[in-house]
Structure 1
Amino acid sequence: MTPCQRMKALLAAKALERKESAPVVSTVENLREFLQRKGELIPIVIRMKLVWITDHVYGTWKLVRLHFTDAEAPESLDNLLSVYKTPYEANREDIASALLTVTIWNVESDSELLPLPGSVVDINEYANLQLYRDKQCQLPTRLPQMIWSNEQSSPV
């Protein structure tokens, strides 16, 4: 095994260990409650269902926002889109408070590297997980910190 292969194996083992020991949060409401607790936050795995992706530009930088709902939401993707995405602009604050918004920089929404809407995604690492305006769950992350299956509505 080369040094590079050994390092990849070591990093994969550590990531698996972190994932197995961290509690899984799979609803937006539970994530909001987790963020409202006072004191030190423990590492968690965030498991949510992707509803839709939007493109944004910040100066010269491109980014996407992934809009997630509860991992086990029983509604069809079409139903979720009609409830959340269609009226989003007119009801942005209310809808954003019912979802998790994840930002990924330097990628566009049509990238094959992103999960498909309807996919259940595990976010294993993140920076700056926060509750914006005391009710909107938001975080920036990177693609390598996410795991998913592109089979819509199937578990990871």
Structure 2
Amino acid sequence: MSTHVQVDLQIASSSQSLPSQQDFEQWATAAVGQHRDHAEISLRIVDIEEGADLNQQWRNKTGPTNVLSFPSELPPELELPLLGDLVICAPVVEKEARQQEKQLAAHWAHMVVHGTLHLLGYDHIEDHQAEEMESLEIQILKKLGYPNPYQDDDC
């Protein structure tokens, strides 16, 4: 089974160092893996203000975060491939990559994989959930040629 994820990309950021549409689709496809043969994700890249507004509105937390995931709540009988929406705050991703001394593309890939796994129902609230999700992220990123994102940090 060959998996493909269509990413409906919306750029609402002034960042000059964004990955390509192809990168986003490759990363999301790797995360979806064997879960589905076709999926669709809406991905919005935002700046600090919109990221902070959404984080406050949906998580009641002040300031922007790196990635927000909004799983689709369509009835299963519709059988549509829409997984949901991801919102990634470009300045936060860029700042974290610098602070954590990570390659920018690797950190972007991690954010897309992490967010996509949330859309698939994975979570990291409980320790055992976090271990499962992090292990899967590490495996997926390794297949994409990126290092373990959890080495030497407490992300």
* TM-score > 0.5, shorter chain as reference: no
Question: If the TM-score is normalised by the length of the shorter chain, which range does it land in?
Answer: under 0.3
User: As a proportion of its length, which structure holds more strand?
Assistant: 1
With normalisation by structure 1, the TM-score equals: 0.28
Structure of larger gyration radius: 1
